[in-house]
Amino acid sequence: MRILGLASLLLLGFLQLSCAGGGSGNRKPKDHRNEIPASGEISGTVVKVIDGDTYDLLLSSNSTERIRLAGIDCPERTQDFYQVAKNRLGEICLNKTVKVRYKTRDRNGRIVGDTYLDDGTWVNEQLVREGLAWHFLRYSQDSTLAAAEVSARAAKKNIWSIPNPVAPWDFRSAQRSKP
């Protein structure tokens, strides 16, 4: 009787592991970063928007890459227009096929690049032109992004409609220096 009880417990444990995704289903996903060249061009479908300047791209290999839009910086989570920028990035490219031209990865492993829709729309510039992102001068000297920001400021679009908007890099710096 005792052996039967032990066998039942072992079988029950095995079934719980199987149903809970134990065993091989719990393995960490393969890191595909080494399969993507250090720079170049990739395309895929935008499957998730993380914030106003970051999204996940599903590649034809069924792997995903996190993409950070180069040369721009959108409001942080608790800043004005954060949700507007995030929603707008979703409207522009979620569930659409995009092309990403990139030269680097950031310290978080994200591909940093320029995103283009099939119709040629440069998503990075679109967000700046709509006043939902700053031209990130620390990392970009692009004259098109600079002109887009000047135009959005003059038209008082979105982030430029509020008095004294705080750039995301200044906001992050202030958050880090808080006790």
Give the active site residue among 66, 76, 101, 153: 76
CB 72 within 8 A of CB 144: no
Enter the CATH code of domain 33-127: 2.40.50.90
pLDDT, tens digit, 9 for 90 and up, residues 21-52: 444 444 334 444 556 787 899 999 999 999 99
pTM here? 0.79
Residue with token string 């979620």: 94
Question: Does 153 participate in catalysis according to the annotation?
Answer: no
Give the active site residue among 88, 110, 129, 130: 110
Question: Does 110 participate in catalysis according to the annotation?
Answer: yes
Give the active site residue among 65, 68, 88, 125: 68
Q: List the domain boundaries for the chain.
A: 33-127
Question: Does 149 participate in catalysis according to the annotation?
Answer: no
Cα separations in angstroms, 115 against 56, 145, 166: 12, 13, 25
What is the distance in angstroms between the CA of the first residue and the CA of the last residue of the chain? 63
pLDDT, tens digit, 9 for 90 and up, residues 71-118: 999 999 999 999 999 999 999 999 999 999 999 999 999 999 999 999
What string of H, E and C letters represents the secondary structure of 98-163? EEEEEEEECCCCCEEEEEEECCCCEHHHHHHHCCCCEECCCCCCCHHHHHHHHHHHHCCCHHHHCC
